[in-house]
Structure 1
Amino acid sequence: MTAAAGVAVTYGLVRIIVGLQDVLVLIGLALFLAIGLEPAVAWLTRHRFPRWLAVTTVFVAGLLAVGGFLTAAIPVVVEQASQFIAKAPAYLREAQDHSTLLGRLNERFHLQQQVESLVSGSALGSGLLGAGQAVFSALANVLIAVVLTVYFVADLPRIRAGAYRLLPRSRRPRAILLGDEIFTKVGGYVLGNLAISVIAGVLTLLWLLIFDIPYPALLAITVAILDLIPVVGSVVGGVLVSLVALTVSLPVFLATIGFFVVYRLLEDYLLVPRIIGGAVKIPALVTVVAVIVGGALLGVIGALVAIPVAAALLLLLREVLHPRLDRT
């Protein structure tokens, strides 16, 4: 009966975790972001800011930055989206012309039929309804994540102290040292990854403006967002921009591919080692495997948090497991 009760309790806990999977992911993401913002809050508290004022300052600065970015970006994106809609008939005529590149692609892959099937009849209505639900769900999740992040940042010292109290007193000092180092790695990774994404977006915008590639602001924002995903994000962004550059000319297309290859090397061997290399030191193989596994488990969020999680596991492996195995 004891064994059966244990199995029943375990099964119930698994069902609860599966049912709360989306909520747990949001909580984990908010905690991850709170740890990433902690270095900025700690810097302000060291300069005689009260904790509440430091948290408020960081979040007000973040909201102002996001608000300013959206104020500058939304009109440009709307204008470029309107230009795309206005040029859609020309693209359609080009797709029907078999002498053009777009026409040959349409003839081979039946692009026009696929687009028409997506926007026709009930498919359009269901697509709009699904898109509306997805947008509403995304906005709700973002709001929940922001609110949770505020609470986590405000109470992070208390949360850390409470987590350390769960450990035996004899092992608590060692656990505090390891925990603080893990927090430092996560915070450095979050801020560094954000800085690298901004650099990727700015450089992409300059390149697009120089060669007069269509929709520069929209593509630059897309590259900046995708670059938040380690390893694969910049590659996907480069492929999208290169495909748009192909509508200008073949030399511009090839030059854009070369630009993203050079930027990827610059990011891997200069930006990442200098900006976040000191905080997160893990082998390249572990980085790739961690991103693949994290993406398979939790999608984009899993790929985003995979590297600091892998760094924390390697730290525990090096500082806890290896010494214990060496003593046996």
Structure 2
Amino acid sequence: MEASAKDHRRAIVFFFAILISLGIAWKLAKELEILYVSALFAVVLMPIVNSICKLNIRGWRPSRAIGIVLMLLAVGLSLSLFFFIALPPVTRDLSQFLTDLPQRIPVAVAKLKHLPMADKLGLDTVAQKAQGAIEATASYLFTSIPMWLAHIFDIVTAAFLCLYFMLEGEHAYDFFLSLVRTSSRGRLDQTLRKAETKMSKWLLGQGLLMLTLGVTSTIVFLIFHIRYAVLLGVLMGLFNIIPVAGGIITMGLVCIVAALDSWTKLFEVVAFYLIYLNLENALLTPRIMKSSVDLMGLTVLVALLVGTALAGIVGALVAVPTAALVVVLLDEYAVKRS
């Protein structure tokens, strides 16, 4: 009877401890989100820091702190180049696009009216709705600027936490492992380190594919004299993270812009994308992504949708690395066990 009473007390204490923990987690949801994002980016960036620390310059090897500083300098230089070289033409093209599109919609409708059965499609109504949607989108972009500025403090906080995780994250990692049973500790350690490598390689490979498509598209669009070439090239690169759907969306937009000028430009754009798509599938993807975790397109798309729904753009940024982590854990503890 006495042992049974103790078990009941333990169960009650455990129940209320779970409730209190869930309540604290709900209350600190934003702070926990920042901690998770910081830790995840630290995990993804640490292989780069480790590679820098392995450099041997006449017998001198950079320490971890120096490796982090060098990585930050490289990131800062890359961002500076983007903001000073790529961002101004992108902003100019976006402003010109929003200005020109309402005026070019009637021209596009007039062209489409020459097609067979066009009179039954209600093109005038579609044009009015499209123009209203464009104006609403432009208004939202300008009115949401203060909301974006309000998140600057969270971004700065996450950046500092990421630095601390890279400097002292091993101590927190060792403490986490100490909470696991000794018999299971080694396996979990190997699985998490494997997930770390896979996540970093996937992001690096996907980043290279996005950069390749963005730069190639911008150059080709400039050669073909496509309107808003820089903006469309950047969008092609960014949306390449979304499998299949991202390419369809951006190519649809590019085709519309090209068709408004001439059918020849439309044909050139479609031909370029088909050639690039075949080269990417045959050469680039197998070489760049061969050592990364095998994520199905559906997995990436679902991860992006869930991450965006839970935490907006921040959730989208960490969605795919989180999916890679989940895939590795499932492969180790569910697939291999079965």
TM category, shorter: 0.7 to 0.9
Equivalent in 88, 95, 101 of residue 106 of structure 2: 95
Q: Normalising to structure 1: TM-score of the pair?
A: 0.79
C-alpha displacement at 1:61, in angstroms?
0.8
* 2:88 corresponds to 1:41: no
**Counterpart-to-counterpart distance in 2, 1:15 and 1:106:** 53
Contact 1:294/1:305 (8 A) holds in 2 = no
User: Partner letter of residue 25 of structure 1?
Assistant: E
Superposed CA deviations along residues 176-210 of structure 1, whole A, max 9, x for unmatched, are 22222111111111212211111111011012111
**Counterpart-to-counterpart distance in 1, 2:300 and 2:95:** 36
C-alpha displacement at 1:213, in angstroms?
0.6
Contact 1:202/1:220 (8 A) holds in 2 = yes
Structure 1 residues 281 and 54, CA, compared in 2 at 3 Å: closer, same or farther?
same
Q: Normalising to structure 2: TM-score of the pair?
A: 0.77
C-alpha displacement at 1:4, in angstroms?
6.9
Corresponding residue of 1:108: 125
**Counterpart-to-counterpart distance in 1, 2:297 and 2:105:** 41
* 2:209 corresponds to 1:200: no
Structure 1 residues 155 and 67, CA, compared in 2 at 3 Å: closer, same or farther?
same
Corresponding residue of 2:297: 288
**Counterpart-to-counterpart distance in 2, 1:320 and 1:116:** 49
**Counterpart-to-counterpart distance in 2, 1:102 and 1:80:** 28
Corresponding residue of 2:33: 25
* 2:259 corresponds to 1:251: no
Contact 1:188/1:279 (8 A) holds in 2 = yes
Structure 1 residues 44 and 23, CA, compared in 2 at 3 Å: closer, same or farther?
same
**Counterpart-to-counterpart distance in 2, 1:322 and 1:97:** 53
**Counterpart-to-counterpart distance in 2, 1:82 and 1:318:** 47
Which ranges of structure 1 fall in alignment gaps of 5 or more residues?
none
Identity of aligned residues (%): 25
Q: Which moved more, 1:186-195 or 1:236-245?
A: 236-245
Corresponding residue of 1:58: 71
User: Partner letter of residue 36 of structure 1?
Assistant: V
**Counterpart-to-counterpart distance in 2, 1:297 and 1:112:** 28
**Counterpart-to-counterpart distance in 2, 1:97 and 1:195:** 36
Structure 1 residues 93 and 322, CA, compared in 2 at 3 Å: closer, same or farther?
closer
Q: Secondary structure of 2:110's match? A: coil
Contact 2:202/2:292 (8 A) holds in 1 = yes
Structure 1 residues 21 and 227, CA, compared in 2 at 3 Å: closer, same or farther?
farther
C-alpha displacement at 1:116, in angstroms?
8.6
Aligned residue runs from structure 1 range 257-268, under 5 A: 257-268=270-281
* 2:199 corresponds to 1:190: no
Corresponding residue of 2:3: none
Equivalent in 247, 250, 262 of residue 237 of structure 1: 250
**Counterpart-to-counterpart distance in 1, 2:95 and 2:326:** 48
Corresponding residue of 1:215: 228
Aligned residue runs from structure 1 range 64-79, under 5 A: 64-79=77-92
C-alpha displacement at 1:215, in angstroms?
1.1
Superposed CA deviations along residues 147-177 of structure 1, whole A, max 9, x for unmatched, are 3322222223333323222222233333222
Contact 2:105/2:131 (8 A) holds in 1 = no
**Counterpart-to-counterpart distance in 2, 1:102 and 1:138:** 46
Structure 1 residues 205 and 191, CA, compared in 2 at 3 Å: closer, same or farther?
same
Structure 1 residues 256 and 323, CA, compared in 2 at 3 Å: closer, same or farther?
closer
Equivalent in 268, 273, 277 of residue 286 of structure 2: 273
Structure 1 residues 23 and 272, CA, compared in 2 at 3 Å: closer, same or farther?
farther
Structure 1 residues 252 and 305, CA, compared in 2 at 3 Å: closer, same or farther?
same
C-alpha displacement at 1:21, in angstroms?
3.9
User: Partner letter of residue 142 of structure 1?
Assistant: I
Equivalent in 127, 136, 146 of residue 118 of structure 1: 136
Q: Secondary structure of 1:214's match? A: coil
Q: Secondary structure of 1:100's match? A: helix
Contact 2:307/2:319 (8 A) holds in 1 = no
C-alpha displacement at 1:316, in angstroms?
3.4
Q: Secondary structure of 2:270's match? A: helix
C-alpha displacement at 1:84, in angstroms?
4.2
Which structure has the larger Rg? 2
**Counterpart-to-counterpart distance in 2, 1:297 and 1:156:** 27
Contact 2:53/2:63 (8 A) holds in 1 = yes
Superposed CA deviations along residues 271-315 of structure 1, whole A, max 9, x for unmatched, are 233212212135xxxx23322432332215555545544444443
* 2:181 corresponds to 1:173: no
**Counterpart-to-counterpart distance in 2, 1:313 and 1:92:** 48
* 2:306 corresponds to 1:297: yes
